[in-house]
Structure 1
Amino acid sequence: MRMLLNIRIPHEPFNTFVREGTIGDVMAKILDEIKPEAAYFTEQNGTRGAVLIVNLDDPSGVPALAEPWFLKFNADCEFRVVMLPEDIQKAGLEDLGKKWR
């Protein structure tokens, strides 16, 4: 299942990794491990953030996606199911509309 993983990263310990010159290695290790379909880095509520598109075959895979962010950065993670246009076309919205008029 395609999921949007929204990550809010506090200033520490991220700033320390930047000062030490190790942030690139830390980020590369996490991204290589979780293999997002897409990764975008942005500001969120005045702090660093990331929005990743990941695939989740089973709910038991959530810790493997979230724990690196929790453990390395003390980050907050939120998961949302997302669909492509072809997914919404297969959802049967017309039938649901008729059923729930």
Structure 2
Amino acid sequence: MLLTARFDNATATKAIEDGSLPKTFQAAIESMNPEAAYFTSTNGQRTAFIVFDMQESSQLPVLAEPFFASGASVAVRPVMNLEDLQTGLANLGR
């Protein structure tokens, strides 16, 4: 799965100043155990892209809520690595 969290600038700045945003990121990374995590800006907003394996959809509230609580808009979508894509393409037409 790919979780994208885009943070409101004013809220994120306050969370950086009070130390809560780094703690949010650390807790999220520990609970998700991601394959990869990237942090950048998108359209002028602080943004996190986190690739992780979600075993059950019931995990979503626990994983996304810390970002919502930090003022982020959150999107989660399934993604594949190259091996997954090759497996899927090999199964076409079966």
The interval holding the TM-score normalised by the smaller chain is 0.7 to 0.9
Q: Aligned-pair distance for 1:30?
A: 2.6
Contact 2:6 2:47 in 1 (8 A): yes
- The equivalent residue for 1:61 is 59
Q: Aligned-pair distance for 1:12?
A: 2.9
- Structure number with larger C-alpha Rg: 1
Q: Residue type of the partner of 2:75?
A: E
CA distance in 2, matches of 1:62, 1:30: 12
Q: Residue type of the partner of 1:4?
A: L
Do the aligned partners of residues 10 and 88 (structure 1) sit closer, same or farther apart at CA in structure 2, a change above 3 Å counting?
Answer: same
- The equivalent residue for 2:42 is 44
Between Structure 1 and Structure 2, how many residues are aligned?
Answer: 94
**Residue 80 in structure 1 maps to residue 77 in structure 2:** yes
- The equivalent residue for 2:88 is 91
Do the aligned partners of residues 21 and 88 (structure 1) sit closer, same or farther apart at CA in structure 2, a change above 3 Å counting?
Answer: closer
CA RMSD of aligned residues (A): 2.0
Do the aligned partners of residues 7 and 23 (structure 1) sit closer, same or farther apart at CA in structure 2, a change above 3 Å counting?
Answer: closer
Q: Residue type of the partner of 1:58?
A: E
Contact 1:34 1:64 in 2 (8 A): no
TM-score for the superposition, normalised by structure 1: 0.78
Q: Aligned-pair distance for 1:87?
A: 0.9
Q: Which runs of 5+ in 1 are unaligned?
A: none
1:32-76 per-position Cα deviation (integer Å, ceiling 9, x unaligned): 2222221100111111001000111111111111101001x1111
Contact 2:7 2:47 in 1 (8 A): yes
CA distance in 2, matches of 1:23, 1:94: 43
- The equivalent residue for 2:5 is 7
Do the aligned partners of residues 92 and 34 (structure 1) sit closer, same or farther apart at CA in structure 2, a change above 3 Å counting?
Answer: closer
Q: Aligned-pair distance for 1:13?
A: 2.1
